[in-house]
């Protein structure tokens, strides 16, 4: 007879309570989902055995949507309705891309970029949500149950708007986002845990459309990002474009049709991939109605790609400078992303670091595997002692516009998150009663050279002489790297705050409407799903608080304890019923009622951390 | 052995950074210890620890983790640490509003600035090295004075504040050198 297993309260749930959580790598070229099963992270495969889902969505007349391989086949033949590399458009405005270069029918106008398709205008967030929903479906099919949440990876160099867009896409796809995780950090987790690596490591991550370099300090149980750098508009796609540009010149191509342009890109991609193993690659494509052939050899391709490679190496050097480290401090360089298969990349990276890059983990899978491990940890499935701590940073400085279009930096790049920082500002004119707050992100000194994240107004400032008002602006960046800003006039208490909703994002209302429209949901009954989510959330809360009570119940006096116990009992009872709104209300009130208990627990926890250290020193 | 249990002071969000890290209110600190305490505290308060917790726990964890990170940023940097100690002692450095400087230091500062400009125009790496070594030497002297002014039993806060202000100028010059060095 097997022995009964008893887990420590609140720590490792019994197997049947194991919460299913997945890691999703939402990539430019392809996306994949992974999960920890029987203690090991593995990628999940569809019925045909494929792990990689091409990040391609095709909109067909009549409302049907193809996602993945099937859509990929129509990439060249149906260019306007078949969207690839949509990650490049996330959190971006319509004016930033030309239809000529992208081959899409981009809607002109302010705000978030939109593409015109046979099913009307679609936003990059919606296209990404289709891909995520497909992966969620795959995960639920393979794992056989609903997911409690997902860790979604983003390029480390994604700014606030791009992160927010990714989170919105996940919400649209019906996913509970446990954390947005930086791709190189995810790779470092997978690599570090696999190899018990310690010391300074660099992760060089060149994907289809984005480049990241992260420098990490790995120690037992701690993954600390020291510095990160990158370019969210540089990836394998750009090497394809370099080939396309060469062909344009070489064969005096112009006025190609959309279909021809797309097939040229496809041919360039295939040639680049062939050059990984072969010395030369043939290109065959149609241009202006005629068949064209061309030959590209490895050396010529290396020349075409050199400026791009140099850009990545300059970024590597800057990240090392930011980390206050030299090349010699780096113990290993982990290669991530399909584009690092290119021999010219491996040679260049090996050259700058003076050591062979580490390529023993599949560069296509390592990010999703690391994300799955983190998802498993965040869902509470990891036993104490086998867990780890992740300390990540923001990639770009955050600041405010001040007089003269200058940027006052409030939080510098490479600051460890979460972080909160307050700064005081004052009025410019006598009797000024309102102040426009313009939040920007970037390293440059002029507002015009930085990315505008959001604008809002603080009103009802009491009239005073110029310079007398004291307006405190607080930036809070959470563990997902997302910013919220609060402004408060100190003497009157007038307050204005926003969760930064980027200029190129969806409003909360839009997300809610899209959700209720049932977009991305295969299930007809959204109401049933909403109820189930509330029930799961209620049970989760009851379980979390009971675990807390078991560990630290002595922090409450008898009266407080009774109140909490009866509130929990009632919530547990409601969770068995079918009133979703009532459950939601009660979740909020129970949560609010345990505020001071949670604060006292945190106190005790910190005291314990300091005490442990004092004892060590005494010993 | 649990001798220190009752003796350990209550920990609160509004506590100063030294108390939060369990360190004495001194300028001289061991960077290794500061980093070590930072990781130990984050291991307890980081939001990832409470991802399965209630919304309240998640919010409080974010506040604490933010506070611990901010404390680490200030404590690990000798300059920020010195400024912070002055502030705690009721002598804020107020660098933005108060630019009064000893005339000798101002002269010296102007000379350095000119030297950097000349080196920048000629692109002379050796000239940059020379200015840098002078600045580093000047900084060593300032730090020694600040250490004494803050850590000696008879604290001399006005001196500490004045030297910290000069130190901030030196850091800016050192940054300029980094930016312009060929």
* Residue for token pair 């007038």: A494
State the pLDDT at residue B23: 94
Q: Can you tell me the distance from the alpha carbon of A457 to that of A298, in angstroms, rounded to the nearest whole number? A: 56
pLDDT of residue A514 exceeding 90, the answer is: no
Q: Can you tell me the distance from the alpha carbon of A507 to that of A498, in angstroms, rounded to the nearest whole number? A: 12
Q: Stretch A353-371: mean pLDDT, rounded?
A: 94
How far is the alpha carbon of A594 from chain B, nearest alpha carbon, in Å?
7
pLDDT of residue A562 exceeding 80, the answer is: yes
Q: Can you tell me the distance from the alpha carbon of A368 to that of A42, in angstroms, rounded to the nearest whole number? A: 9
pLDDT tens sequence across B21-77: 999 999 999 999 999 999 999 998 999 988 877 888 888 899 999 999 999 999 999
Q: Can you tell me the distance from the alpha carbon of A409 to that of A479, in angstroms, rounded to the nearest whole number? A: 20
Q: A417: closest CA among B104, B82, B67, B98? A: B67
- Of A124-128, A215-219, A505-509, where does mean pLDDT reach its minimum? A505-509
Most confident option among A248-252, A515-519, B79-83? B79-83
Name the H helices within chain B: 17-20, 31-45, 55-76, 78-88, 103-122, 125-151, 157-180
Q: Can you tell me the distance from the alpha carbon of A194 to that of A90, in angstroms, rounded to the nearest whole number? A: 32
Q: Which residues contact B126 (CB under 8 A, 6 or more apart)?
A: none
pLDDT tens sequence across A374-391: 999 999 888 877 889 999
pLDDT of residue A267 exceeding 50, the answer is: yes
Got the DSSP string for B122-146? HT-HHHHHHHHHHHHHHHHHHHHHH
Is the CB of residue A379 less than 8 Å from the CB of residue A147? no
Of residues A494 and B67, the one with the higher pLDDT is: B67
Q: Can you tell me the distance from the alpha carbon of A97 to that of A100, in angstroms, rounded to the nearest whole number? A: 9
pLDDT of residue B7 exceeding 50, the answer is: no
Is the CB of residue A544 less than 8 Å from the CB of residue B54? yes
pLDDT tens sequence across B87-145: 999 998 876 666 677 888 888 888 999 999 898 888 888 888 999 999 999 999 999 99
Mean pLDDT of chain A: 86
State both tokens at A294.
């061309």
Of residues A514 and A20, the one with the higher pLDDT is: A20
Residues in chain B within 8 Å Cβ distance of A615: 1, 4
pLDDT of residue A518 exceeding 90, the answer is: no
pLDDT tens sequence across A133-152: 999 999 999 998 888 899 99
Would you tell me how many other CB atoms lie within 10 Å of the CB of residue A283?
A: 18
Least CA distance to A388: which residue of chain B? B43
Active site includes A145? no
Q: How confident is the model at residue B148 (pLDDT cuts 50, 70, 90)?
A: very high
Helix (H) or strand (E) holding A575: none
The dihedral sign for the CA sequence A373, A377, A382, A386:
positive
Of B39, B51, B69, the CB nearest to A419: B69
Residues in chain B within 8 Å Cβ distance of A19: 52
DSSP 3-state of A420: strand
* Whole-Å CA distances, B113 to A216, A304, B97, B103, B107: 36, 43, 22, 15, 10
Would you tell me how many other CB atoms lie within 10 Å of the CB of residue B133?
A: 10
Residues in chain B within 8 Å Cβ distance of A419: 66, 69-70
Q: Which of A78, A87, A134, A480 is catalytic?
A: A87
Of residues A255 and A45, the one with the higher pLDDT is: A45
Is the CB of residue A239 less than 8 Å from the CB of residue A342? yes
Residues in chain A within 8 Å Cβ distance of B8: 607, 610-611, 614
Is the CB of residue A243 less than 8 Å from the CB of residue A236? no
Active site includes A508? no
A233 secondary structure, DSSP code: T
Contacts across the A-B interface (CB distance below 8 Å): 128
State the pLDDT at residue A491: 77
State the pLDDT at residue B14: 67
* Whole-Å CA distances, A154 to A28, A483, A557, A603: 10, 16, 45, 33
DSSP 3-state of A389: strand
Q: Which residues contact A109 (CB under 8 A, 6 or more apart)?
A: A94
pLDDT of residue A249 exceeding 90, the answer is: no
The reply to whether B57 touches chain A by the CB within 8 Å rule is: yes
Cis peptide before A418 (omega within 30 of 0): yes
Helix (H) or strand (E) holding A292: strand A290-297
State the pLDDT at residue B46: 94
State the pLDDT at residue A195: 84
* Residue for token pair 């890691």: A23
Q: Which residue in B3, B45, B52 has the most chain A C-beta atoms within 10 A of its own C-beta, making it the best mutation to test that interface?
A: B52
Of residues A488 and A128, the one with the higher pLDDT is: A128
Got the DSSP string for A428-483? SSTT---EEEEEEESS-SBGGGSEEEEEEEE--PPP--TTT--EEEEEEE-TTS-E
Name the H helices within A57-123: 69-73, 99-102
Mean pLDDT of chain B: 86
Q: Is B83 exposed, middle or buried (0-12, 13-18, 19+ CB in 10 A)?
A: buried
Entry pTM? 0.86
Q: A330: closest CA among A447, A188, A449, A230? A: A188
Active site includes A409? no
Of A380, A415, A611, the CB nearest to B52: A380
Is the CB of residue A571 less than 8 Å from the CB of residue A538? yes
Q: Which of A78, A160, A168, A183 is catalytic?
A: A183
Q: Can you tell me the distance from the alpha carbon of A599 to that of B57, in angstroms, rounded to the nearest whole number? A: 8
pLDDT tens sequence across A167-196: 999 999 989 999 999 999 999 999 988 888
Of residues A502 and A86, the one with the higher pLDDT is: A86
State the pLDDT at residue A497: 61
Q: Stretch A58-87: mean pLDDT, rounded?
A: 92
Q: Which residue in B5, B66, B71 has the most chain A C-beta atoms within 10 A of its own C-beta, making it the best mutation to test that interface?
A: B66
Q: Which residue in B24, B43, B57 has the most chain A C-beta atoms within 10 A of its own C-beta, making it the best mutation to test that interface?
A: B57
Q: CA angle, corner B151, sides to B146 and B152, nearest 5?
A: 105
- Percent of chain A beyond pLDDT 70? 89
């Amino acid at each position: 007879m097997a022995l009964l297993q008893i887990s420590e309260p609140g720590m490792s749930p019994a197997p049947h309570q194991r919460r299913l959580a997945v890691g999703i790598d939402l990539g430019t070229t392809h996306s994949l989902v992974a999960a920890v099963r029987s203690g090991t992270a593995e990628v999940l495969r569809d019925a045909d055995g494929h792990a990689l889902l091409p990040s391609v969505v095709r909109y067909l007349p009549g409302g049907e949507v193809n996602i993945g391989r099937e859509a990929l086949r129509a990439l060249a033949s149906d260019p306007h309705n078949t969207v690839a590399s949509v990650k490049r458009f996330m959190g971006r405005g319509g004016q930033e891309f030309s239809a000529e270069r992208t081959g899409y029918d981009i809607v002109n106008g302010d705000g978030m970029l939109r593409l015109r398709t046979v099913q009307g205008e679609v936003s990059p967030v919606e296209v990404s949500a289709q891909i995520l929903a497909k992966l969620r479906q795959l995960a639920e099919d393979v794992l056989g149950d609903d997911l409690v949440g997902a860790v979604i990876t983003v390029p480390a160099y994604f700014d606030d708007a791009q992160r927010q867009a990714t989170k919105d896409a996940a919400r649209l796809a019906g996913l509970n986002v446990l954390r947005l995780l930086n791709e190189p950090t995810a790779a470092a987790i997978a690599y570090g845990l696999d190899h018990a690596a310690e010391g300074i490591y660099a992760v060089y991550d060149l994907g289809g459309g984005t480049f990241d370099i992260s420098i990490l300090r790995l120690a037992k149980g701690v993954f600390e990002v020291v510095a990160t750098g990158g370019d969210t508009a540089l990836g394998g796609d750009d090497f394809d474009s370099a080939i396309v540009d060469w062909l344009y010149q070489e064969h005096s191509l112009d006025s190609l049709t959309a279909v021809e342009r797309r097939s040229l890109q496809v041919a360039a991609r295939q040639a680049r991939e062939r050059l990984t193993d072969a010395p030369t690659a043939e290109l065959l494509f149609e241009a202006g109605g005629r068949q064209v052939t061309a030959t590209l050899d490895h050396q010529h391709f290396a020349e075409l790609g050199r400026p791009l490679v140099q850009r990545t190496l300059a970024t590597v050097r800057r990240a090392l400078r930011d980390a206050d480290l030299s090349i010699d401090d780096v113990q290993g360089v982990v290669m991530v992303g399909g584009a690092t298969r290119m021999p010219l990349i491996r040679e260049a990276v090996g050259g700058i670091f003076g050591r062979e890059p580490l390529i023993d983990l599949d560069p296509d899978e390592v990010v999703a595997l690391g994300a799955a491990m983190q998802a498993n940890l965040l869902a509470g499935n990891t036993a104490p002692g086998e867990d780890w701590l992740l300390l990540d940073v923001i990639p770009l400085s955050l600041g405010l516009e001040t007089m003269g279009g200058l940027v006052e930096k409030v939080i510098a790049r490479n600051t460890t998150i979460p972080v909160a920082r307050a700064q005081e500002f004052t009025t410019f004119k006598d009797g000024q009663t309102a102040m426009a707050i313009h939040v920007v992100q970037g390293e440059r000194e002029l507002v015009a050279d930085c990315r505008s994240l959001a604008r809002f107004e603080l009103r009802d400032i009491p009239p005073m002489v110029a310079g007398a008002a004291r307006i405190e602006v607080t930036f809070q960046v959470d563990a997902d790297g997302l910013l919220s800003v609060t402004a408060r006039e100190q003497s009157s208490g007038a307050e204005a705050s926003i969760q930064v909703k980027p200029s190129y994002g969806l409003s909360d209302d839009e997300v809610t409407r899209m959700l209720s429209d049932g977009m991305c949901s295969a299930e007809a009954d959204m109401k049933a799903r909403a109820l189930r989510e509330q029930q799961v959330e209620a049970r989760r809360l009851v379980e979390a608080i009971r675990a807390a009570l078991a560990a630290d119940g002595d922090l409450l006096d008898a009266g407080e304890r009774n109140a909490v116990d009866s509130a929990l009992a009632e919530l547990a009872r409601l969770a068995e019923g079918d009133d979703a709104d009532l459950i939601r209300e009660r979740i909020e009130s129970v949560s609010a009622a345990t505020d001071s208990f949670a604060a006292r627990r945190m106190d005790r926890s910190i005291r314990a951390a300091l005490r442990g250290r004092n004892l060590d020193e005494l010993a | 052995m649990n001798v220190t249990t009752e003796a350990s002071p209550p920990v609160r969000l509004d506590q100063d950074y030294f108390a939060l890290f369990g360190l004495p209110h001194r300028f001289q600190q061991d960077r290794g210890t500061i980093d070590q305490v930072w990781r130990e505290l984050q291991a307890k308060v980081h939001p990832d620890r409470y991802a399965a917790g209630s919304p309240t726990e998640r919010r409080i964890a974010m506040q604490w983790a933010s506070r611990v990170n901010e404390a680490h940023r200030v404590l690990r940097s000798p300059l920020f640490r010195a400024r912070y100690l002055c502030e705690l002692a009721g002598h804020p450095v107020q660098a933005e509003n108060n630019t009064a400087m000893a005339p000798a230091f101002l002269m010296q500062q102007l000379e350095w600035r000119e030297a950097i400009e000349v080196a920048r125009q000629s692109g002379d790496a050796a000239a940059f090295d020379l200015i840098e070594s002078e600045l580093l030497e000047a900084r060593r002297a300032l730090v020694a004075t600040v250490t004494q002014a803050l850590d000696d039993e008879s604290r001399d806060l006005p001196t500490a504040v004045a030297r910290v202000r000069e130190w901030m100028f030196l850091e800016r010059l050192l940054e300029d050198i980094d930016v312009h060095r060929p």
